Structures are given as C-alpha cells and as structure tokens.
Amino acid sequence: MSKTIRLFATVSRAEFVLPNLVSLTMGLAWAANPTMRLAYLLIATLLAFCVINLSSGIGAQVNTISDRELDSRDDRKKRLVESLERFGRRRLKSLLVLEFLSAIVLVSLLAYVQGKPALILLWIAGILFGCMYSAPPFRLKARSWMALGSLILALSIIPVSFVYYAATSELNPLFFISVAGLTLSIYGVIIPTEIRDYFGDTAMGVKTMTAHLGLVKASKLEIVLLGVGGFLTGTAFVLGFAVGHLAILSPIVLVIGVAVYFVLRKYRQLLTLAEKYALTKEQAIAQDLVDLSADNPKWITLVTQVYSLVSIVFLVSKFLS
C-alpha cells in the first residue's frame, strides 16, 4: 500500500504541492478582511485548497502520461517514467476520471456555498489550460507563445484569482499588482526547467518558448521576469502593510528581495554558461548548463515559499490592525 502511494505521489509530482500554496496564501491574503466571519473564511480556504491541489494533480498526471516518450530519453526523469509504468497507465487514467469528478463536486460546492457560479467557469478554464499544455492534440507546450500563455494562466493568474474571488467580490488594485508580480515570477522560475529540457525538446521538435528564443535570450528573459516580478510583488505588499497602518511589519518583505537575489545569482551563472555554449557548442558546457538548471525545483520552492510567508504575515496582520 505504501509503495502504491509513493508511486502515485511521484506521477502526481507531489514536490509541487508546496509551490502551489502560493496561489492559496496570496489570494486569501488580499481577499480577507477583519469583518469576515471566521467560519466563512475557513470554508472558502479549505475548499479552495482542495480544488487547487486536486486540479494541480490532474494537470501533473496528464503531463506525466503525455510526456512519457519524451521523458524516457532523459536520465533525470527515468524515475518518473518507471513510476508510471509500475503504477499503470490505465490505472492512472481511471483515477484521473475519479479526480476530475471529485473536483467538479468540490468546485460546485464552493460555488454554491459562496453563491458564485462564475467560480465553476474559472475552474474549467484553469483545468483546460493545465491539461491542454501537455495533452494531444493541443500540446500547447510545443507551440512557443501559446506555451507561455497556457502556463501563466494555469499556474498563476487563474488559481490566485479563483481563491481571491472565492473569498471576496471586492476589487483591490494592489491585488492586481501582486498578481502581475506573481505571474512574472512564476514564468521566471519555470524557464530554467525549459533550459534543462532544451536539448531533449529541440531533438524531439518540441518548440517551447526557450527553444524558440534560444538559450541566451531565454537566460536573459528569466532574469528580467524574476527581477521585475519580485519587485512588483514586494511593492504591493509594502503598500498593503502601509494601507493597513502596519508599516512596521513591512520589513518582512525584504525576504523576497533576499530570495530573488539568491536565485538571480544562479540565473547569472546560467546566462554565462549559455553564452559560452553559443560560442563553442562544447558538450561539456551543455552538460554543465543542464546540471545547473536541474536545481531549479529548489529555486521554485524558495521563491514561492517566501511569497507564501509574506502573504501569511500580511493575512494575519489584517486581523491585528
């Protein structure tokens, strides 16, 4: 039983559960206000948490099934492919149906409790983009700009907006600034994953955004996106603390700057390697580039968890002011 659970966790990419929490924490942080009933907030939080993680699992499993052939050529992903074969593709597809039906029930319940049927439409949009990113015949990940659009919608804009709207209907300009920052940051931390897969993707004709731009331009783009995204997110929270008359807590935002700076230093190393490879085409440099970018899951976790930490502090501060 425990072996089956481990296999299921692997094919569901359980390592991304923590990064997914940023949508929940940030959405709630901006939506909550001291006048809300605690029960109301807890119900919205619990249901939204279940929907987001279940939907993320569905998207990850579709990706695991759809990318099986591509992943089998990558030594780093052999464990993923082996886990899929041992768990069983037919079995996973059957579970996907059950998960999808469960998600529909949870979304419908949340929409009913909150009196917001538009939540169902938001969820449908998110799950469609998440699945179409990998699944044929759409396979948006191989369509350059469409890959970019589907990723930022499925991983950032739609889930954080879903949580925010589930808790409130009020508009907050600072929320939109933070969403812009989160969106830029999310794609900024995804690009190194595309760099890691660059050589395999180009060999298989999978034209991701990084394959379209090339290694050097993609390396420059990730620096810009994460830098600007971190600045916008931090600015939104600083202003949020100030509006809530708790500017004394705003120094917590510095952790965003520290985390972003750390990751940007790694990105600078990636850029240096990409520029060297562009000049020499040496396989040793290509391998160094792949090896360094393979650390990206750690960078994703660092950035998203720092955003979550600041969001939680901001959320709690609203009930202290």
Only one residue has tokens 């925010």, namely 164
**Sequence-ordered list of residues with C-beta below 8 angstroms from that of 156, at least 6 positions apart, any chain:** 23, 179, 182, 183, 186, 187
- On whether both 223 and 305 belong to a single domain, the answer is yes
The DSSP output letter for 135 is S
Task: Give the range of the structural domain holding residue 103, as residue numbers without chain letter.
Answer: 1-169
pLDDT surpasses 80 at 74: no
pLDDT surpasses 80 at 73: no
Only one residue has tokens 């589930």, namely 166
- In degrees and rounded to multiples of 5, residue 293 shows phi and psi of -70, -20
Q: Count CB-CB contacts under 10 A for residue 271.
A: 18
Give the closest residue to 321 by CA, choosing from 33, 29, 25, 24: 33
Write out pLDDT tens, residues 136-193: 888 887 777 788 888 889 889 999 999 999 988 888 999 999 999 999 999 999 999 9
Question: How many domains does one find in the chain?
Answer: 2
Residue 40 has a pLDDT of: 76
Write out pLDDT tens, residues 236-261: 999 999 987 788 889 999 999 999 99
Taking the model in full, what pTM does it have?
0.91
Specify which residues 207 forms β-bridges with: 143
- On whether both 163 and 205 belong to a single domain, the answer is no
Distance, in Å, from the CA atom of 162 to the CA atom of 234, rounded to the nearest integer, reads: 21
Distance, in Å, from the CA atom of 247 to the CA atom of 237, rounded to the nearest integer, reads: 10
- In degrees and rounded to multiples of 5, residue 73 shows phi and psi of -90, -5
CATH number at residue 272: 1.20.120
33 neighbors 315 (Cβ within 8 angstroms)? no
- On whether both 236 and 120 belong to a single domain, the answer is no
Look at the chain and count its residues: 321
- On whether both 254 and 291 belong to a single domain, the answer is yes
* Residue ending a domain, choose from 120, 141, 169: 169
Write out pLDDT tens, residues 193-218: 999 989 988 877 778 889 889 999 99
* Residue ending a domain, choose from 169, 202, 227: 169
Say which residue, 38 or 133, is predicted with more confidence: 133
- On whether both 143 and 217 belong to a single domain, the answer is no
- On whether both 145 and 95 belong to a single domain, the answer is yes
- On whether both 312 and 239 belong to a single domain, the answer is yes
* Residue ending a domain, choose from 148, 169, 190: 169
pLDDT surpasses 90 at 15: no
pLDDT surpasses 80 at 289: yes
- On whether both 10 and 131 belong to a single domain, the answer is yes
- On whether both 178 and 144 belong to a single domain, the answer is no
CATH number at residue 138: 1.10.357
- On whether both 227 and 304 belong to a single domain, the answer is yes
- On whether both 193 and 148 belong to a single domain, the answer is no
Distance, in Å, from the CA atom of 35 to the CA atom of 246, rounded to the nearest integer, reads: 17
pLDDT surpasses 70 at 321: no
**Sequence-ordered list of residues with C-beta below 8 angstroms from that of 112, at least 6 positions apart, any chain:** none
pLDDT tier for residue 1 given thresholds of 50, 70 and 90: low
- On whether both 208 and 277 belong to a single domain, the answer is yes
60 neighbors 12 (Cβ within 8 angstroms)? yes
pLDDT surpasses 80 at 23: yes
pLDDT surpasses 90 at 118: yes
Quote the radius of gyration of the chain (alpha carbons, Å).
20
Distance, in Å, from the CA atom of 47 to the CA atom of 45, rounded to the nearest integer, reads: 6
